[in-house]
Every structure is written in structure tokens, then in C-alpha cells.
Amino acid sequence: MAIYKRILLKLSGESLMGARHYGISTEVLNQYAAQICAVAQEGVQIGIVIGGGNIFRGLSGVNHGFDRVKGDQMGMLATVINSLALQGALESAGTQTKVLTSIRMEPVGELYSKTKALELMAAGYVVIIAGGTGNPYFTTDTAAALRGVEIEAQVLLKGTRVSGIYTADPEKDPTATKFDTITFDEVYQRRLKVMDLTAFTMCKENHLPIVVFNMDIQGNLAKVIAGEPIGTVVSNE
């Protein structure tokens, strides 16, 4: 039984690489699609924002001589590529899916609006919102927080390759321990890295809880939706 009726799922571009060093792993893509389809079949309304770091990251472009604005625009296009790939995988798995873009890009996808997104979700579509915020200098974490607040999602689910938030980086510190729950204020105090500060503050100020969990484990998304203690819950309480 799903405890959430409407969610915003944030996926990182890097996670789509799987074991590759660049691009999209078909295996990971199909595994993610299967998890999302299973949740959609439960009647949960799903909005998705995907990063583009597996293809191009704006800040890395600056290090190679690109203007920051141009670099970020290239990163936005990378998120569109990932969004179209996920749309294809979801549709192949039998789930109606629409891509909305933050910048005008027909016929690739319709221009995003809150009204359009809500209409599509109410009609049973999974809605992938591509192109970040449509503006440079903002990350896809911020785009996820913004779209989550706009579509009035009950929770922002951050699907990662780790099982939650730890006292330190578990890949570097074997003594790091995982939080089951933590407040926004404690994350600030401990200076833990969950999302970029703009995104994190937006969630805090708009009372949008965040659940950080490992999306790479098959079935974890359904467990989070069912309220099982998977990952770490960040909230104001």
C-alpha cells in the first residue's frame, strides 16, 4: 500500500552509467524503468527529474574553456537525452510517459507547466521534466526541488547509489554510520552533503521531505513508496 500519492523522483545522470565510464547503461536504464513502472501501477503519480552528468556537466565544461552559461546549457541538453532514454524504456515496459522540457523544444517534448504536468499525472502518465530549471547556474538538484514544490509532491525521493545519509562518506570512512531520520537543521549543523544548498533550502522552507535511498537495488523504490524504512528521511521534524 503506497503511503504517497504524488512523488518527485530525482535520478542522477551518473547512476545511469552503471559500470560504464560514460553514457547510458541499458541494464541500469531498464532496471530503473521496471521499478518506476511497478510504482506507477499502484496508482502513484510520478514526476521525474534526471541529471546529465553521465554526458556533460556544465562546471566541468568551464574547466575546459567553455563559458559557464554555454556549459550549463549543454548540461541541460544532456538531461534531455537522458529523459528521452528513460521515456523509451518506460514506454517499452508498458507505462505511458511524457517528457516536458523547461525550455521550448517541440517536437522533442512539450514546454513544461505545472498545469500540464498535473493534467498528465492525473491521466496516468509518468512525467519526466527535462532541461533543469531552464536557467544557468542552477543544478538539477535545484530543478528537482523546484518541480517537487510546484507539482505539490508529498516527498522528494533522491535515488542514488548509496543507501542513505551517513555521518561521513561510507566509501572513504568504514566507521561511518547511517541515519534513518534526520532534520534539515541537523544536516546543516553537521555540514552533510545531501543536495546542493539552494535545493536543500528550498525543500526545508517549503516543508518538502527528502528520502535518500539506493535506487540500484531492485525493488527499493516500491519499498520507499510503501513506507518501509529504506534509506534516510530528511524533514523539519
Structural domain includes residue 190? yes
Grid cell digits, residue 118 = 498535473
Please say whether the beta carbons of 162 and 232 come within 8 A: no
Q: What is the pLDDT of residue 196?
A: 92
> How many other CB atoms are found less than 10 A from the CB of residue 145?
31
> Residue 84 sits in a domain of what CATH number?
3.40.1160.10
Res 59 pLDDT > 80: no
Rg (CA), the chain: 17
Structural domain includes residue 91? yes
pLDDT in tens, 165-214: 999 888 788 899 999 999 999 999 999 989 999 999 999 999 999 999 99
Q: What average pLDDT does this structure show over 108-136?
A: 97
Burial of 235 (0-12, 13-18, 19+ CB in 10 A): middle
Structural domain includes residue 1? no
Q: What average pLDDT does this structure show over 53-57?
A: 87
Please say whether the beta carbons of 69 and 28 come within 8 A: no
Structural domain includes residue 21? yes
Alpha-carbon gap, residue 209 to 7, rounded angstroms: 11
- Amino acid 138 reads F
Structural domain includes residue 94? yes
Q: What is the pLDDT of residue 193?
A: 87
pLDDT in tens, 5-46: 999 999 999 999 988 889 999 999 999 999 999 999 999 999
For strands 232-235 and 181-183, give the pairing: parallel
Q: What is the DSSP string of 72-134?
A: HHHHHHHHHHHHHHHHHHHHHTT--EEEEESS-BTTTBEEP-HHHHHHHHHTT-EEEEESTTS
Structural domain includes residue 163? yes
pLDDT in tens, 123-176: 999 999 999 999 999 999 999 999 999 999 999 999 998 899 999 888 788 899
Q: What average pLDDT does this structure show over 60-79?
A: 83
What residues are paired with 109 via a beta bridge? 105
Please say whether the beta carbons of 179 and 234 come within 8 A: no
Q: What is the pLDDT of residue 21?
A: 87
Alpha-carbon gap, residue 77 to 91, rounded angstroms: 21
Runs of H (alpha helix) within the chain:
26-40, 58-63, 68-92, 114-122, 140-150, 184-190, 197-205, 220-225
Q: Tell me which residue range forms the domain holding 168.
A: 6-235
Structural domain includes residue 100? yes
Alpha-carbon gap, residue 77 to 79, rounded angstroms: 5
Structural domain includes residue 89? yes
What residues are paired with 97 via a beta bridge? 126
Residue 62 — φ and ψ, nearest 5°? -60, -40
Grid cell digits, residue 57 = 556537466
Structurally, the chain folds into a number of domains equal to 1
Res 78 pLDDT > 90: yes
